[in-house]
Amino acid sequence: MSPPSPNLHLYLTHRTALIDYATRLVGTRAQAEDIVQDAWLRFDQRDGQATAISQPLAYLYRIVRNLSVDQNRRQRLENCQPENLSELEHIADASSSPEQSSLYRDQLQLLQRALNGLPARSRQAFYLHRIEGRTFQQIANQLGISLGLAHQLVRDALTHCADCLDD
């Protein structure tokens, strides 16, 4: 059995220190171990190349650092959430099947028919409350009705829509 190569000996000697270094950079020991393993593979592939490395340990640390930086960038991109919720509307819903889309479209048509069957004032109160997010007091002021009547109109519209969807 032949003795290990100088590069393998260098790697095995400094493996724990490399993992500790990578852990500080990426945050978890498991990720650090993966990064150090990848670094070794890259470092070992370079063994047959003509250009000699003057400081192999420093080079190995540099590979670990670069892989850690790449990992952090990847993680940041994966965890990135849009600041504006309107951006979410443009993201396709992978869980929605054609059957579900058809069902939702049918339910939306039923809801539209139910809303069209309401008196104009009830429909307007419902729209102001559920779509525009207005308070009952704001609805009462805009429609010139009492607070209790505004509440009743929205409740009746919701009940009517729920009954239509249940049928």
**CATH classification of the domain holding 35:** 1.10.1740
The answer to whether residue 112 sits within a structural domain is no
152: CATH: 1.10.10
Domain carrying residue 73:
6-79
pLDDT of residue 105: 86
Residue 90 in any domain: the answer is: no
For residues 76-86, give the mean pLDDT: 65
- 82 pLDDT higher than 60: no
Q: How many domains does the chain have?
A: 2
The proportion of the chain whose per-residue pLDDT surpasses 90, expressed as a percent, equals 32
Domain boundary among 30, 62, 79: 79
Q: How far apart are alpha carbons 82 and 70 in whole angstroms? A: 21
Residue 34, pLDDT above cutoff 90 = yes
Both structure tokens of 4: 């290990």
pTM over 0.85: no
CA 91 – CA 88 distance, rounded (Å): 5
State the residue for tokens 């104009």: 120
Phi and psi based region of residue 133 (left: phi greater than 0; alpha: psi -120 to 50; beta: remaining): left
**CB neighbour list of residue 145: distance below 8 Å, 6 or more residues apart:** 121, 139, 153
Write out pLDDT tens, residues 141-152: 999 999 899 999
